[in-house]
Amino acid sequence: MRKSRVMATIRSGGLVRLCSLGHYVPSFVAQAARAGYECIWLDLEHRALSIRETQSLLTECHLFDIDCMVRVPTREKAQLYRYLEDGAAGLMIPHVSTPAEAKDLVRSTKFPPLGERGFDNAGLDADYYLHSMDDFADWAHSETFLTVQIETPEAVENVEAIAATKGVDILFIGPGDLGYRYRHDGTGDPDGSRLEAAFERVAAAAKANGIAWACPTAGAANIRKRREQGCQMIANAGDFMSILNGLNAGIREFEEID
């Protein structure tokens, strides 16, 4: 059974290099792995892929030895662990605002006694081979991960309890959603100080509970800043911006000859 590159990097104290994918582009998997990324964030919250397309991309990830963290469009129990059976190294759950929600997600995605995930033991995650149930459960708890997104003011207020939920492996700050809510919650955040304080609070909660935290950012200076705060997973590229930036760069070459 495959070892998670994300979990190996986190356990060594390193920084997981994460990129995002929202469309069915199998070659992106190979190029991301060759570039040196350890994980692809497959966004099924905001993008629509069929289950067969998702399974195909997960197979590509196994082929090129890169983790895939699926941001899911559902919290339905069987569908959540089916992504794991199909080969996802981790799940990312949007808008987790309370410890009760975190506990429900652990119950859905972890095997007993930690949770209530159902056993299959014959999918891509098991290399299509029947292992002992104890060995398979031990592997899954060690080599797959549950990421919860902290992207509401309520989540920030509850982050210490969320981080203390056994079975939660990574806290992922969603600065877009969280920043927007801060700006429009009646108090406002004109200078971004409330959002920055949220980063500090999430970082402290993760450190106190011995788990990792993550975020998206751009630019070496911002990556360095978050890394110095203890961040262990940073997303800085993806198919959307790569295509946009590539096309804009290409069109500028024509403008240079006008």
Q: What is the pTM of this model?
A: 0.95
**What are the catalytic residues?**
46
Domain ranges of the chain: 5-245
Neighbouring residues of 103: CB distance < 8 A, sequence distance ≥ 6: 165
Look up residue 248 and give its amino acid. N
Rounded to 5 degrees, φ, ψ at 150 are: -100, 100
Residue 258 has pLDDT above 80, yes or no: no
Residue range 28-55: mean pLDDT, rounded: 97
Arithmetic mean of pLDDT, 27-36: 98
- Residue 256: pLDDT band (50, 70, 90) is confident
Domain covering 5-245 assigned CATH 3.40.50.300 in the classification: no
Tell me 98's DSSP state: S
What tokens appear for 250 in the block?
């290409």
pLDDT in tens, 146-184: 999 999 999 999 999 999 999 999 999 999 999 999 999
**Mean pLDDT to the nearest integer, 20-37:** 98
Quote the CA–CA distance of 245 and 258 in Å, as a whole number. Answer: 21
Question: What integer is the mean pLDDT of 22-45?
Answer: 98
Mean pLDDT (the chain) is: 97
What is the pLDDT confidence band of residue 238, given thresholds at 50, 70 and 90? very high
pLDDT for residue 237 is more than 80: yes
